[in-house]
Structure 1
């Protein structure tokens, strides 16, 4: 069971992921273009001269077809290589970081990413749900996982402020195989946190789903 994202920035996150896919499709190799056929040797060289004046001008002054614009080098550098793997995940991670510059202290960001990744894994595969009793009230029951643990992979993740210094959101992009055997990547999930202070120590507490 996946999480229904509540962040108003979900559309922007989806746009970033779709942009990476779109650019990747543009970068896919195509079959070698066929060269233009040579003019027929049997063509009558006097045919152009015999054509009416207006028609002859149209043929002679028609501009050549403009070549397709090349992909900007900045986009080429962000393209994942063909096929799946860690290298492709790095491209998605880079795209997220460029879309949302870091705005949290390094320590807070590290804590949020660790918690967000663990929560997503627990939610998708059922692994270690007992560590989060407030988030998964059914953690003591036997629940069939929505996604296979062996085919679950977090592709990219960032943690950012959520409109308030005491609120944050962890954006995650991930891949997995569901119970029906369908593998899908570039799934999107958001986890929301609030900052609390207990005994002088600051911690980030995940918010239960509504």
Structure 2
């Protein structure tokens, strides 16, 4: 690791960047195949949630057209109530907890306005949002690692490493790339994986 230190000495001029480099090297080592599986499952669930919400909206509209007496929560209301998603509520959708969010929003709106939320319109709105919402992880390292089609331990680690360094505003200059190669060989500690500077550059370019 002495060579890595020498390579970085002229590049990392602030303590926070040294800390960021060490953290990136450590945090880039994750079980990325599991993240790929979770990502695929989340995309499937979000799509299903969108479909189910749209189906519920259609069923409710059909039920309302029968003109039978319905609880006020299922009645149609003329007021066009706009539903806004704060960043925290969008995160709820991201985490596939839309039903819990829906329940909370209904209760909150009723408490604030004294009138029930138009459930049909709200379901349509939630369905559209769920259908368009990007499926990703908050960690840039994970996103970079699983964004490539090649499910390689070496490539995934290097892409995550590079993304975390960029996130910490560390330029991936030639000395940094050299230090990444040295560090990766130490961290991965696999005799079957020989990581050179060229290996790092190719991994960072691969999509």
Q: Normalising by structure 1, report the TM-score.
A: 0.27
Q: Which has the higher strand share?
A: 1
Q: Which has the higher helix share?
A: 2
